[in-house]
Structure 1
């Protein structure tokens, strides 16, 4: 075997796997899995935590044979777990279907998005993990099992948000909807007015979110609403990516300009609209590299947490380059989901990848935790085993399911083995 280099999308997580492989068949996948003591799977590398890090076998499943199969009633489909959301949503659209919801980027694999609780926005819409109702998994011995609410139930419940710790998802049964179109609208709005109108907006629109620069008093409100059938727009993003990249490079060189440039950006903000197929409108271009931390808070605590962290940034004059992203997500009953306490406000904090972020994120994380926040598993956090036990009532059940499915910890890398106290945590 020869060493291979791998890094995540932002470049902050690197690994030297013994082998990187892209199997084309289940037989080839089983052979690879049984030949290695340590195995992880990677998709687009959009995790900011070391979820894919391994010195063993690193698998890519985007070339695995097979296509989705749609149920006769048109309400669900078995989809290849390694397909990107971009590929899957295009395939579904061509056959008259859409996903119930999406986030604002689409290169992630279906399995990666589901197994980390990735989400979009919508007060009545859960994370992508909530649309999964069945899994075909390859276990550590190369065998394949199926799990659902009515078969291998404990395995299914753990697998719904699994971080890849139980096995390798080959296909996933997901909910789908008849294809629909969306109208996107962006506008600048004072933060005070936005907070006052927030519940009204959340009830009026299927999707509502906003971005708030820490040094500006206005925010960018974004709404998405189903609309009549229309062609795809010529514009593929909700923002001027080139202008934002230039701004980031400027504040990286001259951090003292951060506050004034953010206020200037918001003064120049103009309203805009796009209309088109849902799978085209949901994602936008996000090419400026960043680090990200995200917390899910009880919905009632969202604005207080955001105000507190912004006040702290202003008081300390910290050069936080990106705006905060504020979304709504419905509650769920998934064991390891940060949304299983009920409806949540989701607050994402970003920093340009070429600027310092570790100390800033650590301080902000404490603020979010004080407001009842639980972190997104794939984004920067400092949770330890005791934190997981305290925050997740079903943590012991999840750990037991992991040990039952993979007693030797083949699918647990050192970071995850330590976090959940699984297998050998030394390699």
Structure 2
């Protein structure tokens, strides 16, 4: 038996084996022989999406290469590549992803399977980039699906949660390479609230970070800029001061409000320019737990104020800032963005501090405001909740039963929702 853990360390599984096939034939054989199998990328899911009691498969060592279409509007890529590797390879071809999130170790397949997204009023999640998938099915056979070949499977696979097969190759939309200018500054929370719509109109990307016990936010904007060299690499000790603050708060939770106000009293400005795939991601060395709600855009700021007010009134030791972003609407069956554009609110807690009760109470407030949770972040959805929130949930299950009739790709968590 082997023990597998996710990135934050809070999800663990005792499995018969964790395997790293080097080619599709080895993968097909492993899947065909397994009783239950789940695929893992970088393990950045906070829910037990990758947990298995039999076999976990990683495609990190799979052979493969990038193939750019003749029209340069799409490319076929190895599904197990990290976003970091993919975007660097695309750059060598003069191409890029239209958007990314703020970390890039995740696998391409894992990012799409969970609806991972960045920020941008007119920019959808990575799942919206999908144009086709090559899958290894439960019996080891391989199939291709896209809008012209098995449309139902393609639509379900766009945000799959790993329920239909293991993707080995993905065709995705790409754009000409571009450069970004990042600006970071501290601004009063009240001012950003008042000017939010203007900021959204003015910038390609805008988001902010709000420590709940302070009255200022860290505002981050990204805009296209002229070609330029990559910026200097960030120093390894950039997060050292914040780590010290978090460790003090973990030992003395009552001090968290004071620590946040003291930390945010310092000047905060930053500028970076460079290739988009270098500027989008940030280092995330500090471990945390996370929940995220995709709110109807009109309810986003109001709901954030409600949750922050609850934290302040009770002086709750929420150590990390809230992250507030925008994501465009899409038409993907199980996407939290399929009912319209959203304001995405992420709530984090340091791994050394309690998070379960905090997240449970905050989730209820997000849900009351019309929010739907990110599939890979902490949530407590039930099967009834899924059916209420997603009108095509049963059609999604029907596709799953068709391609995986024995439930080989189900684990305990997913069986409760989609079995």
TM superposition score category, shorter chain reference = over 0.9
State the shift of 1:183 in Å: 0.4
Report the more deviating stretch, 239-248 or 319-328.
239-248
Is the contact between residue 236 and residue 280 of structure 1 (CA under 8 Å) also seen in structure 2? no
Matches within 5 A, 1:276-355: 276-355=274-353
- Check conservation: 1:38, 1:413, Cα contact below 8 A: yes
Q: Distance in 2 between matches of 1:408 and 1:239?
A: 49
1:230-274 CA-partner distances (Å, limit 9, x unpaired): 111114389931111111111101111111111122110321100
**Aligned residue number for residue 224 of structure 1:** 222
CA separation of 1:146/1:113 partners in 2, compared to 1, >3 Å: closer, same or farther?
Answer: same
Alignment equivalent of 1:413, drawn from 407, 411, 419? 411
2:107 is matched with: 109
Cα deviation for residue 172 of structure 1 reads 0.6
User: Does 2:171 match 1:209?
Assistant: no
Gaps of 5+ in 1: 423-427
Q: Secondary structure at the match of 1:350?
A: strand
User: For the residues of structure 2 that align with 1:26 and 1:198, how far apart are their CA atoms?
Assistant: 48
Report the equivalent of 2:73: 75
Q: Secondary structure at the match of 2:121?
A: coil
Aligned to 1:33: 31
Residue number among 10, 13, 16 corresponding to 1:15 in the alignment: 13
Q: Give secondary structure in 2 for the equivalent of 1:194.
A: helix
CA–CA distance in structure 2, aligned partners of residues 337 and 127 of structure 1: 9
Q: In the superposition, relative to structure 1, how do residues 359 and 419 fare at CA in structure 2: closer, same or farther (>3 Å)? A: same
Q: Distance in 1 between matches of 2:266 and 2:319?
A: 17
Q: Which whole-Å CA distance do the structure 2 matches of 1:237 and 1:87 have between them?
A: 21
Distance in 2 (CA, whole Å) between partners of 1:243 and 1:306 is: 26
Instruction: Find the partner of 1:152 among 141, 150, 153.
Output: 150
Structure-2 residue corresponding to 1:241:
239
Cross-structure match for 1:185: 183
Contact 1:117 1:161 in 2 (8 A): yes
Using the size of structure 1 for normalisation, the TM-score is 0.97
- Partner deviation per Cα, 1:192-226 (whole Å, 9 max, x = no partner): 11011111111111110000000001100000001
With over 3 angstroms needed to count, the CA separation of the structure-2 counterparts of 1:183 and 1:320, relative to structure 1, is same
Residue equivalent to 2:387: 389
Aligned length: 419
Evaluate the alpha carbon distance shift between residue 237 and residue 52 of structure 1 in structure 2; reply closer, same or farther with a 3 A threshold. farther
Alignment-derived partner of residue 378 in structure 2: 380
Residue 77 of structure 2 is aligned to residue 97 of structure 1? no
Question: What SS does the corresponding residue of 1:93 show, helix, strand or coil?
Answer: helix
TM-score (norm 2): 0.99
Secondary structure at the aligned position of 2:207 is classed as strand
* Dislocated runs of 4+, deviation >2 Å: 235-240
Q: What's the Cα RMSD here?
A: 1.1
